[in-house]
Amino acid sequence: MRNVLEELERRRDIARLGGGEARIAAQHKRGKLTARERIELLMDEGSFEEFDMYVEHRSTDFGMEKTKFPGDGVVTGWGTINGRVVYVFAKDFTVFGGSLSEAHAKKITKIQDMALQNRAPIIGLFDAGGARIQEGVAALGGYGEVFLRNVLASGVIPQISVIMGPCAGGDVYSPAMTDFIFMVKDTSYMFVTGPDVVKTVTNETVTAEELGGAKVHTTKSSIADRAYENDVETLLQMRRLMDFLPSNNKSGVPLLPTKDVPDRIEMSLDTLIPANPNQPYDIKELILKVVDEGDFFEIQDQFAKNIVTGFARMEGRTVGIVANQPMVLAGVLDSDASRKAARFVRFCDCFEIPIITFVDVPGFLPGTAQEYGGLIKHGAKLLFAYSEATVPKITVITRKAYGGAYDVMSSKHIRGDVNYAWPSAEIAVMGAKGAAEILYRAELGDPEKIKARIDEYQARFANPFVAAERGYIDEVIMPHGTRRRICRALNMLRNKQAQNPWKKHDNIPL
């Protein structure tokens, strides 16, 4: 018996060393941690249980039968994050550069199947060189198997991808189909084809960082939802994120005990809206003062900053926040902002996370760049997402709610459950100046007359009461009591039952 136990320990020790000490040192030198170190940071201490530690590839081409490592370049298993079950796979760059073989893919799909069947989130940590060329089509098949499972699990369990090194070629499509992608600054990059191929095909000279670094993907392409400074910071933030996310689409949101009282009054919100309607203010101040403990996990903080999205809690329960940001482009809706918010709203709806929307929107962004770029369909995505969402939806209009953008931002007409307005709200087709200039075009030559018309329009429509008279606003509330109102509304909606007509799936304007 003793020999058997020793043999187990021996094989474990070999497996845990991955590609060996030299490669581990090289990994560290690049500022990166090993797959097992990363999992150790991600999971509760001692909770990770590794599966398939002894799996090896079965390739015999190109002399591969002579180089085998137990685990075959990916560490898989399960554990807990603050006591909640999470499945994980982490590419091991020290073994074949983390490249994907048939056996490697099987390890991942096994975990994916378990996560889906057992309805718990799955997190993938990427740091790999793509398909294992020596395996050829078997590797491609492996990718396909992984992709399929990503799609089947989508909307059932949260799927998170963390890019912590290279992620190229076939490797990029699995993260692309998960719910969120996070990256590590300076050490990670993602692209379909690398700089060498780019040079050959298009004659562009770019570095890996310029082509697919964290900065590019968080600010330009919006592929990544956030980036962090290093491995440790990233993984600790993933622990924080998981505390916000439901385990699956039926579990409901987790409850984190808090002593932050629901009737907390924030007097300073009464002066948040500047006297000058063209002066911006920071909508994040409102978010931070309304949510529990000022704790807000922002998603896509560097992209389309004219809209803010992220997770927070009210009375300990997760909510999704969507808010126009007057500080950036006056909070206008453009293609990027619409796409960003639409995807976030749909995530919340998938996982029964109530949505709180703070509205201060002057409309859609005009211009050829936007129209040629498909603003109509991108804008429609957000309208579609809000309309189809059946989770509790609470809307607070703080200032402008103009034109079609008013309808889009979780209005009463698209099943907003509780729609509040601050006294400073202006729900109108457009701003007073624009409206008066259209309505009284004949008087445009007379500045005094037109000014009187603007003032007239301003007095009639630049308030929340025209909308409230029609029931489009349920109540006009004092800014300082916003938290209390939202908490009450959420509790009132706790047992909300709403269903869309049966369909195979909808046809959102992609």
Partner 1 sequence: MFKKILIANRGEIACRVIKTARRMGIKTVAVYSDADAQAMHVEMADEAVHIGPPQAAQSYLLIDKIVEACKATGAEAVHPGYGFLSEREAFPVALAKEGIVFIGPNPRAIAAMGDKIESKKAAAAAKVSTVPGHLGEIGSPAEAVKIAEQIGYPVMIKASAGGGGKGMRIAYSRKECEEGFALARSEAKSSFGDDRVFIEKFIENPRHIEIQVLGDKHGNVIYLGERECSIQRRNQKVIEEAPSPLLDEKTRKLMGEQAVALAKAVGYDSAGTVEFVAGQDRSFFFLEMNTRLQVEHPVTEMVTGIDLVEQMIRVAAGEKLALKQKDVKLEGWAVESRIYAEDPFRNFLPSIGRLTRYVPPAEGVVHGGTIRNDTGVAEGGEISMFYDPMIAKLVTHAPTRIGAIDLQAQALDAFYIDGIQHNIPFLTALMQHERWREGRLSTGFIAEEYPNGFAPPAADGYGLGILASVAASIDHLNNTRRRHITQQMDGQPFSFAKRRVVRIGARDVHLEVTGGGDGPIKVAKVNGDGAIGTPIEVVSTWWPGQPVWTGTVGGEEVSVQVRPVLNGVHLSYRGAAADIRVYTEAEATLVSLMPEKVAADTSKLLLCPMPGLVKAIHVQAGQEVKAGDALAVVEAMKMENVLRAERDGTVKKINAKAGDSLAVDAVILEFA
Concerning whether 170 is annotated as a catalytic residue, the answer is: yes
Active-site residue (options: 103, 341, 405, 436): 405
Q: Is residue 494 at the binding interface for partner 1, with CB under 8 A as the rule?
A: no
Q: How far is the CB of 31 from partner 1 (least distance, A)?
A: 4
| 320 counts as catalytic | no
* Total residues at interface with partner 1 (CB under 8 A): 49
CA distances from 218 to 161, 300, 349, 382 (A): 14, 7, 23, 20
* Positive or negative torsion for Cα 94, 96, 98, 102: negative
Name the amino acid, one letter, at 360.
D
- Which of 25/438 has CB closer to partner 1? 25
Q: Cα dist. 113→18, 119, 146, 149, 436 in Å?
A: 24, 10, 10, 7, 61
Q: 334: Cβ–Cβ under 8 A, 6 or more apart, which residues?
A: 304, 306, 364, 365, 370, 375, 378
Of 89-97, 215-223, 260-268, 431-439: span binding partner 1 (CB under 8 A): 260-268
Instruction: Return the residues of window 52-111 that contact partner 1 according to CB under 8 A.
Output: 80, 82-85
Cα separation, 98 vs 69, in Å, equals 11
Cβ(135)–Cβ(161) below 8 Å: no
Residues 199-238 that bind partner 1 (CB under 8 A): 228-233, 236-237
Query: 40: closest CA among 121, 125, 159, 118?
Result: 125
Please report, for the chain, how many H helices and E strands are present, in that order: 19, 17
* Helix-, strand-, coil-residue percentages of the chain, each rounded to 5: 45, 20, 35
Q: Residue 185 CB: number of other CB atoms within 10 A?
A: 16
- Residue among 155, 194, 252, 404 flagged as catalytic: 404
Candidates 136-144, 247-255, 393-401, 499-507 — which segment interacts with partner 1 by CB under 8 A? 247-255
Q: By CB under 8 A, is residue 260 in contact with partner 1?
A: yes
* 170 versus 481: smaller Cβ distance to partner 1: 481
In the region spanning residues 340 to 379, those forming contacts with partner 1, defined by CB under 8 A, are: none
Taking alpha carbons only, the member of 145, 133, 35, 39 closest to residue 87 is 39
- Of the residues 19, 124, 130, 169, only one is catalytic, namely 169
Candidate residues 158, 246, 362, 464; the one interacting with partner 1 per rule CB under 8 A: 246
**For residue 108, what are the contacts with CB-CB under 8 A and spacing of at least 6?**
74, 76, 89, 124, 146
- 281 is an interface residue for partner 1 by CB under 8 A: yes
240 binds partner 1 (CB under 8 A): yes
Say which amino acid occupies 138. Answer: A
Tell which positions 403-442 bind partner 1, by CB under 8 A: none
Give min distance, CB of 477 to partner 1, in A. 17
Binding mask 177-196 for partner 1 (x = CB under 8 A): ---------x----------
Q: Which of 251, 388, 433, 437 binds partner 1 (CB under 8 A)?
A: 251
Nearer to partner 1 by Cβ, of 80 and 109: the residue is 80
Which residues sit at the interface with partner 1, rule CB under 8 A? 28, 31, 33, 37, 40-41, 44-45, 47, 80, 82-85, 186, 228-233, 236-237, 240, 243, 246-247, 251, 254-260, 267-272, 275, 281-282, 285, 292-295
Catalytic positions, please?
Answer: 169-170, 404-405
